[in-house]
């Protein structure tokens, strides 16, 4: 039993900043003098509207979202957006390009096939998704309604270091690296992200949409997934995920206190470099992703033996370093070092890895 908080390297739901959790705890039963929890108040009330408006404004400010783009808070997480993107955007030509660089981009392409013709612009499966293709390696369709890519691949530990270009709107799933560094929003027609990694508790997707793309939905699109309706109703066609929005607002304030996205990038680079530097000099552990494609959020690695991997994961947990097992698809280990992971947590992990290596060579 740990008397203090552990270091949680889960890929999601993941750590939230401790100051955010502490403030939410203080306000749990009485927020802003209302005498009630944010989870109890009507989403149509003035008290909640103020929370919603502040969160939306903070989101626009922190991410430098241009006025050409709308901010939506939608239920269903990123998986819901796999369908929503296709139903709302594929109708223009009936075709879309998908860059498949990991599990979730593959699932997004599979879902999109229900609503139109999917062309695979690239598939890194033959290289076990350890690489990110360069722009010239993408096979793009001249009549695609959009190009979809997953900016960071949580399972395989790879991340795009550029925004792919196309002759159509570019759509990005940024679930696992949003808020970790500055983003060129204007280069994207749409960005979506499940909030459970860098923003808030699980259960919501944040969507950044070029307003010119709203209103192209297929006739079969459910109203609750229709971007045009979400824009017109300001994400309140039905009861929104009120607690998630409130928690997102607290997280955005915390991000500002850390120096905004520039500060977040400095921290992510420091955390990831500590781990990769150790791996590059280790005689026991080896990184899984190729160096030019390494993720700043999810560091994947392994030993030469599944049994030794299991021993490492078990002993790490005994030392307060939890959720280090790799995804069931790939095995090995994975350290998810999202924004809320303190640098001290990565230092403790690296120190433990060093001790484990000496004991198991």
Residue pLDDT, tens place only, 7-40: 999 999 999 999 999 999 999 999 999 999 999 9
Does the pLDDT value for residue 3 go beyond 60? no
CA 311 – CA 357 distance, rounded (Å): 12
Quote the CA–CA distance of 80 and 190 in Å, as a whole number.
Answer: 14
Count of C-beta atoms within a 10 Å radius of residue 36: 14
Q: Tokens 């947590």 sit at which residue?
A: 345
- Give, in order, the Cα–Cα distances in Å from 295 to each of 122, 160, 241, 269: 19, 8, 30, 10
pLDDT tens-digit profile of 212-229?
A: 999 999 999 999 999 999
Q: What is the pLDDT of residues 247-284, one digit of tens each?
A: 999 999 999 999 999 999 999 999 999 999 999 999 99
Distance CA 157, CA 130 (A): 8
pLDDT for residue 267 = 98
pLDDT digits (tens, 9 = 90+) for 175-185: 999 999 999 99
Cα pseudo-dihedral 336, 342, 343, 346, rounded to 10? -40
- At 219, list the tokens: 């006739």
Over residues 33-86, the pLDDT tens digits come to 999 999 999 999 999 999 999 999 999 999 999 999 999 999 999 999 999 999
Sign of CA dihedral 136, 193, 67, 210: positive
Q: What is the pLDDT of residue 5?
A: 87
Q: What tokens does 328 get?
A: 């069931």
Query: Is residue 195 within 8 Å of 177, Cβ to Cβ?
Result: no
Domains of the chain by start residue, with CATH: 22-257 (3.40.640.10), 260-360 (3.90.1150.10)
Distance CA 57, CA 184 (A): 18
Distance CA 31, CA 242 (A): 13
């Amino acid at each position: 039993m740990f008397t203090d908080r552990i270091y949680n390297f889960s890929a999601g739901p993941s750590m939230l900043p401790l100051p955010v959790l502490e403030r939410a705890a203080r306000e749990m039963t009485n927020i802003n003098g209302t005498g009630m929890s944010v989870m109890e108040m009507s989403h149509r009330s003035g008290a909640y509207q103020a929370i919603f408006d502040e969160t939306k404004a903070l989101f626009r400010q922190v991410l430098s979202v241009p006025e050409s783009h709308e901010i939506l808070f939608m239920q269903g997480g990123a998986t819901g957006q796999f369908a929503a993107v296709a139903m709302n955007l594929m109708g223009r030509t009936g075709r879309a390009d998908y860059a498949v660089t990991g599990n979730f981009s593959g699932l997004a392409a599979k879902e999109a096939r229900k609503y139109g013709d999917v062309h695979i612009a690239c598939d890194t499966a033959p290289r076990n998704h350890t690489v990110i293709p360069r722009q010239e390696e993408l096979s793009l369709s001249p009549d695609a309604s959009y190009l979809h890519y997953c900016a960071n691949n949580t399972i395989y530990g790879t991340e795009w270091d550029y925004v792919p270009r196309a002759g159509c709107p570019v759509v990005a799933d940024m679930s696992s690296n949003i808020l970790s560094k500055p983003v060129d929003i204007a280069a994207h027609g749409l960005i979506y992200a499940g909030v459970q990694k860098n923003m808030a508790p699980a259960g919501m997707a944040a969507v950044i949409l070029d307003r010119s793309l709203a209103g192209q939905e297929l006739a079969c699109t459910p109203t609750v997934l229709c971007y045009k309706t979400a824009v017109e109703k300001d994400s309140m066609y039905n009861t929104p995920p009120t607690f998630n929005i409130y928690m997102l607002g607290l997280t955005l304030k915390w991000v500002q206190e850390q120096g905004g996205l520039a500060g977040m990038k400095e921290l992510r680079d420091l955390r990831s470099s500590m781990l990769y530097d150790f791996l590059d000099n280790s005689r026991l552990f080896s990184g899984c992703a190729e160096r030019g494609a390494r993720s700043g959020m999810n560091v994947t690695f392994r030993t030469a033996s599944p049994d030794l991997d299991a021993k490492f994961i078990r002993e790490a947990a005994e030392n307060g370093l939890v959720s280090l097992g790799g995804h069931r698809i790939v095995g090995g280990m994975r350290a998810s070092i999202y924004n809320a992971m303190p640098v001290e947590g990565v230092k403790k992990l690296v120190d433990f890895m060093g001790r484990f290596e000496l004991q198991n060579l």
